[in-house]
Amino acid sequence: MVQIFVNDEDGDDAAKASAAGAPNDVPKRPVVKHVSRAAATSPGPASAPAVPPALARKLGIVARRASLVDIVKRDMAANGASKNEAAEAAQFSDKKAPKTSNEVEAAAEVTIAAGEKNRDGLAGGDGDESPLLENPETEAAVDQILAREADELLAIDDARTENKAAALQHERVGSKLGAFFGGWWHNAWLRWLTLLVIFGGIGTLIGISQTRYFILNKAGVRVSASLTITATSTQQPLAGATVQIGSRTVQTDASGTAKLTGLHLGPQSLRISQIGFAIVDQPLTLGWGSNPLGGFALNATGIQYTVNVQDYLSGKAVAGASASFAGATAEGDSHGTVVLAVPAGSGNTPTATVAANGYRSTSVTLDPKAAVNVRLVPSGKAVFVAKASGKYNVYSTDIDGQNQQLLLAGTGSETSAMSLATSPANDEAAVVSLRNNLHDGTGAALNSLTLVSLGNGQSVTIDSAQQIRLMDWADTTIIYELTTTSDAAGNPNRSRIMSYDYADSTRMQLAAAGQFSVAASVQGVVYYAESPADSNPNAQPGLFSVNPDGSGRQTITSQAVQNGVRADYNTLDIQTATGWDAYDVDTSQLQNVAVPTSLAGRQYVASPNGQQAAWVGANSVGQNTLFVYNVGAGKDTALATQTAAGYPLFWANSGAVVYQAGGATPGEYVVGLDGGAQKIPISNFVPTTGFTQGT
């Protein structure tokens, strides 16, 4: 049998595809029909030369190839074949068939001619076919070639048909979805019903706590929690206790309070631990917000020791003291009693550190059988000048004489005329001296203003002049007046009020005049007035104020001010041509007053906490007295009366004042606001000055 490819003119394949639900425009494809070899090789018209059957098969193959290629190309063009399909067909045609009908005819003529020429060689004498052409192996090879070519063409056609059907199906699905959603959107009732169902479902999920926590945590919502830890036996706060919630861990502060942030919502685990106490583990659920968890009391598991903490000067209880050992810390009560729990196995007499705000910490050996009493020394330093080896050196010391330190070694140029003033934080000291051996153009000696750190002894010279007067400290800023005494009063820069902030090394001129009639600092604000006696024609009459950083400059009065004195903590008295007026710095009001009984103005030195201010003046019977003014109560209290008591003044802490005294027993003395006083043990003491009043 021989396979012959023909077009399916009857449309059998199309009918079958339509019945199966495939598109009706499926292209027709060649169909293999089997015919007998005799039919395929039947002789043609009588006028045509006889062609051997083998030659006819070859010519049939050539013609069939050209026909099939032409059918495929036309079919692809009619059905919009893709570029890839067209390329495959072209590649097949290049390899398998002649490209034009002329080539087919030429191949046929050549083949016929060759057949006639070699007929005698190919056929026998009786006209039978050559054994070579009738060879079964040759015939099988021809059938195999025909089958392979048919399969290749059918595979190309099938792939094209499937791709086109898939594209059409996708287009139909997209069209149906678009129609569905379009109808849904234009149906208002259906649209709102769908939205209500969706949001209702979301609301239901959120209403379930676990789901709500999960959603909020995934959205990045975080909350906080706070709690307070105390000891069961003392009801005092436990400082340094470890508090852990989830993955967050913090330590309690001095009040036993811990605050944790960045926590996840929902169920969490809480753990509280402290050396010498039983661990607390408990579950909890964190909701929205700050989550105050209240107080937790820990039970001591170690050995408990008791420490009674007292003030060095007064012997009174120090509230808020603490004791610590090996990571365990306990806070004291208002009576100064601290109960410290120490882990078992730490020894019978462990050494603890006792501390309190404003006091020098100290070590104490604990006793398991009895309470231990300890006195804490104020932490502030007393600064003084001592003459050793012929030089004037500046030292600091604790008020009990311990930890004495050389701050500024003398150069040999200094004299006893030196001034000292320490900062409110007791960390810097201002020193005025001739230490730098400087002179101006006239040969006059120049004083230097030097700042020295009480912590590390580092110093810096910030200014120099013939005369330097220390006026006040305002936080980290020293306020002072420079005067060139050799200049005439008409020189507009003869006197200058300056400020220097050691926190950022800023130096600033606040005011200048030939001569000041008022130059004072009141509650950290500078007040100044140019003297009417100033021969400077450009002198501006009036009383003015300015902040130490140069801001907030104001005019208090435009009248010429002849004199001024600080009458009390809030009041500056000034003299004008019409009499005396009192200026209240709190109310910014001027009020006419009588002539002051004393022109010795007050120089207040503020305490570290700003609640008190110390000053030295005469009491009702004319004795030099150290006073402390309570800012809140507006009341002065006399602390000590001593001959030649005076400046400089320092605060050892907010409860103890250091002052200087001359006379028969010169030196520096310390007195406590709650009682107690003593002379500070200092050798080779040299009296100095501190803040002084301007003229």
Asked if pLDDT for residue 24 goes beyond 90, the answer is no
Asked if pLDDT for residue 504 goes beyond 60, the answer is yes
Superfamily the domain 223-298 falls into: Immunoglobulins (2.60.40.10)
- Side by side, the strands of the sheet bearing 351-355 are 328-331, 322-325, 351-355, 362-365
What are the residue ranges of helices labelled H in 425-476?
none
Residue 596 structure tokens: 């002051």
Asked if pLDDT for residue 123 goes beyond 50, the answer is no
**Which position has the higher pLDDT, 148 or 425?**
425
Average the pLDDT over 237-261 and give the result. Answer: 90
Average the pLDDT over 101-114 and give the result. Answer: 48
Which uninterrupted H or E stretch holds 193? helix 188-207
Give the least confident one: 211-215, 356-360, 570-574: 211-215
Residue partners of 194: CB distance under 8 A and separation at least 6: 184
The Cα 673–Cα 272 span in angstroms is 40
CATH code given to domain 466-600: 2.120.10.60
**Which position has the higher pLDDT, 5 or 463?**
463
Asked if 258 and 296 count as a contact pair (C-beta separation under 8 A), the reply is no
Instruction: Return the sign of the alpha-carbon dihedral for residues 121, 127, 131, 133.
Output: positive
Q: Ranked by mean pLDDT, which of 282-291, 499-508, 641-650 comes out on top?
A: 499-508
Angle, helices 136-186/53-79, rounded to nearest 10 degrees? 10
Q: Return the domain boundaries, the chain.
A: 2-177, 189-218, 223-298, 303-376, 466-600
Model confidence at 372, pLDDT cuts 50, 70, 90, reads very high
Asked if pLDDT for residue 418 goes beyond 60, the answer is yes
**Which position has the higher pLDDT, 421 or 532?**
421
Asked if pLDDT for residue 548 goes beyond 60, the answer is yes
Q: Ranked by mean pLDDT, which of 54-68, 107-121, 473-487 comes out on top?
A: 473-487
Alpha-carbon distances, residue 159 vs 19, 29, 92, 438 (angstroms): 20, 12, 15, 106
User: What's the confidence (pLDDT) of residue 236?
Assistant: 84
Instruction: Return the sign of the alpha-carbon dihedral for residues 47, 52, 53, 58.
Output: negative
Model confidence at 483, pLDDT cuts 50, 70, 90, reads very high
Nearest to 343 by CA among 399, 275, 409: 275
What are the residue ranges of helices labelled H in 98-135?
101-117, 119-122
Q: Ranked by mean pLDDT, which of 110-114, 227-231, 553-557 comes out on top?
A: 553-557
User: What's the confidence (pLDDT) of residue 146?
Assistant: 60
Average the pLDDT over 222-243 and give the result. Answer: 89
Asked if 510 and 526 count as a contact pair (C-beta separation under 8 A), the reply is yes
The Cα 568–Cα 602 span in angstroms is 7
Phi-psi region at 93: left, alpha or beta (left = phi > 0; alpha = psi -120 to 50): alpha
User: What's the confidence (pLDDT) of residue 341?
Assistant: 87
Instruction: Return the sign of the alpha-carbon dihedral for residues 168, 172, 178, 181.
Output: negative
The Cα 690–Cα 647 span in angstroms is 5
Look up residue 689 and give its DSSP letter: B
- Second CATH level (architecture) for the domain 303-376: Sandwich (2.60)
The Cα 461–Cα 474 span in angstroms is 19
User: What's the confidence (pLDDT) of residue 486?
Assistant: 79
Asked if 56 and 41 count as a contact pair (C-beta separation under 8 A), the reply is yes
Residue 545 structure tokens: 């104020």
Residue partners of 198: CB distance under 8 A and separation at least 6: none
User: What's the confidence (pLDDT) of residue 360?
Assistant: 96
Asked if 625 and 602 count as a contact pair (C-beta separation under 8 A), the reply is no
CA atoms within 13 A on the CB side of 441: 3
Average the pLDDT over 631-642 and give the result. Answer: 93
CB atoms within 10 A of CB 357: 14
Asked if pLDDT for residue 502 goes beyond 80, the answer is yes
Cβ neighbourhood burial of 692 (10 Å; 0-12, 13-18, 19+): middle
**Residue where the block lists tokens 């479902």:** 201
User: What's the confidence (pLDDT) of residue 119?
Assistant: 43
Per-residue pLDDT reduced to its tens digit, 233-246: 888 888 888 999 99
The Cα 50–Cα 273 span in angstroms is 115
Average the pLDDT over 340-345 and give the result. Answer: 82
**Residue where the block lists tokens 């009063």:** 489
User: What's the confidence (pLDDT) of residue 688?
Assistant: 94
- Side by side, the strands of the sheet bearing 372-376 are 337-342, 303-311, 372-376
**Which position has the higher pLDDT, 560 or 347?**
560
Strands (DSSP E) along 334-427, which ranges?
Answer: 337-342, 351-355, 362-365, 372-376, 382-388, 391-397, 405-408, 419-422
User: What's the confidence (pLDDT) of residue 174?
Assistant: 62
Cβ neighbourhood burial of 648 (10 Å; 0-12, 13-18, 19+): buried
- CA of residue 512 relative to chain centroid, distance: 45
Asked if pLDDT for residue 543 goes beyond 70, the answer is yes
**Residue where the block lists tokens 């930890």:** 403
The Cα 291–Cα 223 span in angstroms is 8
Residue 374 structure tokens: 């300890």
Model confidence at 22, pLDDT cuts 50, 70, 90, reads very low
User: What's the confidence (pLDDT) of residue 288?
Assistant: 83
Residue 674 structure tokens: 């709650």
Asked if pLDDT for residue 122 goes beyond 60, the answer is no
User: What's the confidence (pLDDT) of residue 303?
Assistant: 85
The pTM assigned to this predicted structure is 0.64
Model confidence at 90, pLDDT cuts 50, 70, 90, reads very low
Asked if pLDDT for residue 54 goes beyond 60, the answer is no
CB atoms within 10 A of CB 124: 10
Asked if pLDDT for residue 287 goes beyond 50, the answer is yes
Model confidence at 292, pLDDT cuts 50, 70, 90, reads very high
User: What's the confidence (pLDDT) of residue 191?
Assistant: 67
**Which position has the higher pLDDT, 21 or 190?**
190
User: What's the confidence (pLDDT) of residue 635?
Assistant: 94
User: What's the confidence (pLDDT) of residue 518?
Assistant: 94
Strand 571-576 versus strand 563-566 pairing type: antiparallel
With b for 16 or more beta-carbon neighbours within 10 A and e for fewer, the 263-286 pattern comes to bbbbebebebebbbbeebeeeeeb
Average the pLDDT over 214-223 and give the result. Answer: 84
625-632 CB contacts, 8 Å cutoff, 24+ apart: 626/657, 626/659, 626/671, 628/657, 628/673, 629/569, 629/604, 631/569
pLDDT above 70: percentage of residues in the chain: 70
Q: Ranked by mean pLDDT, which of 78-82, 477-481, 593-597 comes out on top?
A: 477-481
Model confidence at 114, pLDDT cuts 50, 70, 90, reads very low
Asked if pLDDT for residue 132 goes beyond 70, the answer is no
User: What's the confidence (pLDDT) of residue 343?
Assistant: 82
Average the pLDDT over 215-224 and give the result. Answer: 86
Average the pLDDT over 497-515 and give the result. Answer: 95
Average the pLDDT over 612-635 and give the result. Answer: 92
Average per-residue pLDDT for the chain = 80
Asked if pLDDT for residue 36 goes beyond 60, the answer is no
Asked if pLDDT for residue 112 goes beyond 50, the answer is no
Per-residue pLDDT reduced to its tens digit, 377-405: 999 999 999 998 889 999 999 999 999 99
With b for 16 or more beta-carbon neighbours within 10 A and e for fewer, the 206-242 pattern comes to eeeeeebbeebeeeeeebbbbbbbbbeebebbbbbbb
CB atoms within 10 A of CB 531: 22
Cβ neighbourhood burial of 171 (10 Å; 0-12, 13-18, 19+): exposed
Asked if pLDDT for residue 131 goes beyond 70, the answer is no
Model confidence at 485, pLDDT cuts 50, 70, 90, reads confident
> What's the CA dihedral at 78, 82, 83, 84 to 10 degrees?
-130
Asked if pLDDT for residue 336 goes beyond 80, the answer is yes
Asked if pLDDT for residue 531 goes beyond 80, the answer is yes
Model confidence at 58, pLDDT cuts 50, 70, 90, reads low
Asked if 147 and 3 count as a contact pair (C-beta separation under 8 A), the reply is yes
**Which position has the higher pLDDT, 630 or 64?**
630
Nearest to 30 by CA among 57, 2, 3, 56: 3
